[in-house]
């Protein structure tokens, strides 16, 4: 498998020259566009990696999966779908106009920024500090890595320049969808987006989802079965924003992307996969990363639609 992964990486390196690294968060503009790496963790906890798998990058929107997991565990289906919808969006991830047009300002789904910010506010914890700790503890547990760090420069950069997210959060507050102060909720969200990982950590998280919510390394049931089902459904329909349909056709695995260049993918009952390639398309998804996943999905027959 290692040789196969390496050859997929080698063949798709050419795509790292297309697209652009995210620059609307100034610190992200420093990312190396030539990076391309992959890690797999299967449901027997066997790990394989290839390419630039030692590259640390901020997980950005991939953390929205963890926020959703926490909220589903804390409050169940009703609590979450009180706050956000479950419909894919045909708009960019930080779009504002549709908020005004949906029922009582409800964000369309938990994976656009508006949805993730509303969900962050609703995670269990008597204040935002506790909510943050709850979500980070879940990240550590799911990645089986207690040593996760925040990239402070990215966190500060996003906090300083995140005016669009501020506008979204104020809108949510006005619509009664956020209980805590806008700045406190955003601070948690910005910090979570700035957690740094390597692809191996993220593949571990995906392997838990692939294994029905059970950690392959300890057999601990971390995600309840119904929550695990909902996560996979939302990843499939909303995970790559306004390119989720194309991704479903070409790759066909429940996935979630982030503007740091990472994508997490789940091959149910088989394996968890993570790729990184910081050069993005205009939707904010890694171009080379999607190509790598497309090829792997074809060669290993990983599409859930087969
Ligand atoms: N931190 C980023 C933002 O809120 C996350 C977006 C993303 O990864 N798509 O804009």
Q: Is 193 in the pocket of ligand 1 (CB under 6 A)?
A: yes
pLDDT at 102 over 80: no
Distance 220 CA to ligand 1 centre (A): 31
- From 66, 9, 70, 109, select the one nearest 204 (Cα to Cα): 66
pLDDT at 101: 74
pLDDT at 94: 86
Q: What is the average pLDDT score of the chain?
A: 95
pLDDT at 92 over 90: no
pLDDT tens digits, one per residue of 280-293:
999 999 999 999 99
pLDDT at 209: 98
User: Do the beta carbons of residue 136 and residue 164 sit within 8 Å?
Assistant: no
CATH fold for domain 2-60+196-299: Beta-lactamase (3.40.710)
Where do the H-state alpha helices sit in the chain? 2-12, 63-83, 97-101, 113-122, 128-143, 152-161, 163-174, 182-193, 199-210, 225-238, 244-250, 287-300
pLDDT at 93: 87
Q: Please tell me whether 165 is known to bind a ligand.
A: yes
Shortest-distance Cα residue to atom 6 of ligand 1: 61
Q: Is 60 in the pocket of ligand 1 (CB under 6 A)?
A: yes
Residue 17's pLDDT band (boundaries 50, 70, 90)?
A: confident
- Long-range contacts made by residues 234-239, C-beta under 8 angstroms, separation at least 24? 234/68, 234/86, 234/109, 234/110, 234/111, 235/65, 235/111, 235/266, 236/304, 237/86, 237/87, 237/88, 237/109, 238/88, 238/89, 238/108, 238/109, 238/110, 238/111, 238/112, 239/111
> Which residue ranges make up each domain of the chain?
2-60+196-299, 63-193
Pocket probe for ligand 1: among 259, 264, 280, 286, the residue whose CB has the most ligand atoms within 8 Å is 259
Pocket probe for ligand 1: among 21, 22, 25, the residue whose CB has the most ligand atoms within 8 Å is 25
The domains spanning 2-60+196-299 and 63-193 adopt the same CATH topology: yes
What's the rounded mean pLDDT across residues 33-62?
A: 98
What's the rounded mean pLDDT across residues 204-213?
A: 98
Q: Please tell me whether 259 is known to bind a ligand.
A: yes
Ligand 1 nearest-atom number relative to CA 284? 9
pLDDT at 104: 73
| Superfamily covering domain 63-193 | DD-peptidase/beta-lactamase superfamily (3.40.710.10)
pLDDT at 98: 80
| Residues annotated catalytic, as ranges | 61, 64, 189, 241, 259
pLDDT at 189: 98
pLDDT at 89 over 90: no
């Amino acid at each position: 498998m290692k040789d196969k992964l390496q050859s997929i990486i080698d063949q798709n390196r050419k795509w790292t020259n297309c697209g652009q690294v995210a620059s609307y968060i100034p610190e992200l503009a420093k990312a190396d566009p030539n990076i391309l790496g992959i890690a797999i963790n299967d449901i027997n906890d066997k790990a394989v990696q290839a390419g630039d798998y030692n590259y640390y990058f901020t997980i950005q929107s991939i953390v929205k999966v963890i926020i959703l997991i926490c909220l589903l565990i804390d409050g169940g289906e009703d609590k979450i779908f009180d706050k956000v919808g479950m419909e894919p969006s045909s708009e960019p991830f930080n779009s504002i106009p549709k908020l005004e047009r949906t029922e009582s300002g409800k964000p369309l789904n938990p994976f656009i920024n508006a949805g993730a910010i509303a969900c962050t506010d609703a995670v269990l914890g008597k204040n935002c500090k506790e909510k943050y700790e709850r979500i980070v503890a879940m990240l550590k547990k799911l990645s089986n890595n207690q040593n996760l760090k925040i990239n402070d420069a990215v966190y500060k950069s996003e906090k300083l320049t995140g005016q669009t997210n501020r506008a979204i959060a104020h809108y949510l507050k006005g619509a009664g969808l956020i209980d805590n102060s806008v700045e406190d909720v955003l601070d948690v969200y910005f910090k979570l987006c700035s957690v740094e990982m390597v692809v191996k950590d993220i593949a571990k998280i995906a392997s838990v989802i692939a294994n029905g919510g059970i950690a392959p390394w300890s057999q601990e049931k971390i995600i309840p079965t119904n929550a695990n089902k909902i996560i996979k459904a939302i990843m499939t329909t909303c995970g790559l924003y306004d390119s989720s349909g194309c991704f479903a056709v070409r790759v066909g695995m429940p996935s979630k992307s982030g503007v740091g260049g990472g994508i997490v993918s789940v091959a149910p009952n088989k394996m968890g996969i993570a790729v990184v390639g910081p050069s993005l398309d205009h939707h904010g998804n890694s171009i080379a990363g999607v190509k790598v996943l497309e090829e792997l999905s074809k060669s290993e027959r990983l599409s859930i639609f087969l």
